[in-house]
Amino acid sequence: MGTYNKGILGSFRGTVGTVVGSSWRGIAVMKSRSGKRKGLPSQAQLDQQTRFSMMTEFLGNFKSLLDLGFSKFGKAKTAYNSAFSYNLKEAISGGYGNAAIQYDNILLTKGKLFNAMDAIAEAAAGKVKFSWSDDTGIKNAKADDQVILAVYCENKKTALYHLNLGTRADMGAELPIPTAFHGKQVRAWISFISADGKEIADSLYLGELLAD
């Protein structure tokens, strides 16, 4: 049971009637107490549960990267939750029985740093080779921006990513992949982060390729 002593507009913790009070990151939060579910879930509820579960499984592979990639959007909620909300809204279609992730709409990092033009990903023996144009000087792009590379194997439900395999001026880098990925389809993304870590680019989806 909860109590309050600062008037109806004051903050409180616990349950008062049908209202639950709590505090999160120093912010007073008040919400309705959940009741028992009556009957079977609706189609809309099944659709949302399916999309939520699928996105949770996928983004869980990129937790540390998302914490970095969405760090500027985590004021009212965590960076990961900001990333989850964005991708759940923008990068999944369908629902119960036919939900699908729209990988070309996925963002693993989000920011205002210029990404790369002409970026491509290609399979090579035991690795994925990335290449891009040196866009130093275009908008806020700098030669020492660090490249961020990521791949995801849907068959293995496993992701790999690396934050310091090269700079924008290098125009190329290689991301080693495990033998478990060989012969499997993998999806690739590229992004950049400034040398001081203050700016980051929207990640760019480079498509699907067959790993060697």
Domain with CATH 2.60.40.10 in the chain: 111-212
Rounded to two decimals, the pTM is 0.81
Q: How sure is the predictor about 4, in pLDDT bands with cuts at 50, 70 and 90?
A: very low
DSSP 90-148: HSEE--TTT-EE-GGG--S---SB---SS-EEEEETTEEEEE----TTSTT--TTPEEE
pLDDT, tens digit, 9 for 90 and up, residues 56-79 = 999 999 999 999 999 988 677 899
One-letter amino acid at 53 equals S
Domain topology for 111-212: Immunoglobulin-like (2.60.40)
Q: What is the mean pLDDT of residues 84-105?
A: 95
Residue predicted with more confidence, 206 or 7: 206
Q: How far is CA 4 from the centre of its chain?
A: 39
pLDDT higher than 50, residue 2: no
